[in-house]
Amino acid sequence: MKNHTTNRREFLKVAAILGASLSLGASPLLAADSKKQIMPMRTLGKGDYAFEVSALAFGLMGLNYHRSKVLSEKEAAEIVAKCVDYGIILFDTAQVYGPDSNEILTGKILKPYKDKVFVTTKFGFGANADILDSSPKRIREVCEQSLKRLNIEQIPLFYQHRFDPQTPIEEVAGTVKDLIKEGKVARFGVCELSAATIEKAHKICPITAVQSEYHLMWRNVEIELFPTLEKLGIGFVAYSPLARGYLSGKLRKNSDFDPKNDNRATFPRYQDDTMAANYKIVELLREFGKGKNPSAQNGNATPAQMAISYLLAKKPYVVPLFGTTNLTHLSENIESLQVQWHKKELKNFEAELAKIQILGDRYPPEQAKRVGR
């Protein structure tokens, strides 16, 4: 791990100096000699388990799983190559995506950048998503298999994907702690847990980051988790920062989703009636985005850029984790780094946001039972 980090030290040294500017209302981050974006850095966790990463992270799941379109290996490679070019060094996958196939693809397309990036993954399921399994035996199986599929020697951050009611969280944390001692894992993370369960796990093995859903249509974590994370010094990786694409303003119909390869097709919030009713939030983002992107031809920030930049402005330990299969959308999301929020703007925006009632649950009933445990 030390060698891995040393290879990027000069880049990190420059980027880290700029990282705090996102939340301080500083000038947009542009390289001195061009219009190329400089990727700021953020730190997840603290002490021996601190993890310095790019302020934006890329979720690999949608490249071949659960997002309607399945990219070829060449197309997927082009996406991650552009991510690396933009300065993203934190990538995310999971054993259950496919299952296994997303890790296999990830191992292939990120191989050229092994010494430049980190790829995090997750355990917590059996052979497929129907079975929750965080038993010590299964955790070790997934660890060994993921190392091989990802073509890496150590998993930089190993998350429990979902709570397993059959395995006490203390036992889960203890198993990952042992894997850290063995050098197979560098850091421990959890997903979609309650604050109480996070505290129990953290006592056994320090948690570097919690990965949970967080966006303008689901802000519960601000009240339910952030106080605990701040008390314990744990970072937060926000998955679905665009509400699975909805906050981009580009999704209008349920028929846009392939029911064979897109979980949004069955989610309550992505049915035609709820998507139409919730569109007020996209209009609000568009209104507040006027004049907010100095790099845009019209000077305006898009709804997607406003949604991502909001998360960046809220807390310095939040890292938005987005995914896309489209190079244009990737560029658009990166430009969220150009958008600066000031305290008064945030307050005014949140006052208007509070007037909008969000319709539709974020998960179907069975999946909802697996989060916040």
Cross-strand partners of 321: 57, 239
Separation of alpha carbons 125 and 182, rounded Å: 22
Q: Is 86 a catalytic residue?
A: no
Residues 6+ apart with CB under 8 A from 319: 42, 44, 53, 54, 55, 56, 57, 90, 209, 235, 236, 237, 238
List the catalytic residue out of 49, 65, 86, 97.
97
Query: Which token pair is 292?
Result: 């907010």
CB 56 within 8 A of CB 322: yes
189: three-class secondary structure by DSSP: strand
Q: Strand, helix or coil at 212? A: strand
Distances (CA, A) of 247 to 179, 252, 268, 279: 38, 11, 16, 9
Contact status, residue 70 vs residue 62, Cβ threshold 8 Å: no
If you search the block for the tokens 């997934």, which residue do you land on? 142
Q: What angle do CA 141, 239, 24 make, to 5 degrees?
A: 130
Token pair of 137 as six digits: 């035996």
Burial status of residue 23 (CB atoms within 10 A of its CB: 0-12, 13-18, 19 or more): middle
- Asked if 265 and 286 count as a contact pair (C-beta separation under 8 A), the reply is no
Instruction: Tell me phi and psi for residue 82, to 5 degrees.
Output: -70, -35
CB of 300 within 8 A of CB of 25? no
Can you spell out the DSSP letters for 59-89? E-GGGTSSBS----HHHHHHHHHHHHHHT--
Catalytically active residues are 97
